[in-house]
A and B are shown apart, each in its own frame.
Chain A
Amino acid sequence: RKEVEQDPGPFNVPEGATVAFNCTYSNSASQSFFWYRQDCRKEPKLLMSVYSSGNEDGRFTAQLNRASQYISLLIRDSKLSDSATYLCAVNRGGGATNKLIFGTGTLLAVQP
């Protein structure tokens, strides 16, 4: 089993739709979680950290489910500009350093 797994997609959704991605992780000791957005041939850009209580930033909501070991990202009212690959990142757990493991990403294509 991979340490961090994501559905590669693509997720093809119409503008205005709500779409959700999940990311599962295998190490129960992991303590920090992040969502990044990566446009084609560009660097990943931090979208949001994921906190235990869940957090929201505009149309984006991230949640953590420790019991089932997954994080989720919900995008409401999808825009064409949301089309990108969404990467989850999970720290390895143990120790004080923040070594992240990245998923392979989920491709989102928002259609007009």
Chain B
Amino acid sequence: DGGITQSPKYLFRKEGQNVTLSCEQNLNHDAMYWYRQDPGQGLRLIYYSQIVNDFQKGDIAEGYSVSREKKESFPLTVTSAQKNPTAFYLCAAGGGFLDDEQFFGPGTRLTVL
């Protein structure tokens, strides 16, 4: 079964704890992205990576960190510095160049209590 996988599907954490969301793809796409979606808002870009060992901040990177040690994997850590971490987190992968489509994983719904 191919595609983009994210785990876990639901995640509950206490305030002040760091948490890492997993994103794996076997589509051989170069670029990977992390978005956040809040009710009534569009997707907002957190971080993206065009190639292994390189990543760039998106629009709302504060309180988040990422790594890209392998082409297939792009984990996102939500740190305690993120003021409003409760959201739906979506990972995407694509060719990375203009006109390249982005394909999404099933998402992780994070709730911070």
Q: Assess whether A105 is in contact with B42, with CB atoms less than 8 Å apart.
A: yes
Residues of B1-56 whose CB lies within 8 A of A: 31, 35, 40-45, 48, 50
Q: Which residues of A contact B35 (CB under 8 A)?
A: 102
**Stretch in contact with the other chain, from A40-48, A54-62, A63-71, A74-82:** A40-48
Q: How far is the CB of B55 from chain A (nearest CB, A)?
A: 12
Q: A43-B107, A87-B42 are in contact. Are A96 and B98 (CB under 8 A)?
A: yes
Interface residues on A, range: 20 to 34
Instruction: Give the contact-size bracket for chain B.
Output: 20 to 34
In contact, B106 and A43 (Cβ under 8 angstroms): yes
Q: How far is the CA of A44 from the CA of B33 in the complex (A)?
A: 14
- Closest chain A CB from B12 CB (angstroms): 16
Interface residues of B in 55-101 (CB under 8 A from A): 58, 88, 90, 94-101
Docked Cα-Cα span, A102 to B36, in Å, equals: 11
What residues on B are CB-neighbors of A44 within 8 Å? Answer: 43, 90, 104
CB atoms of B103 and A32 under 8 A apart = no
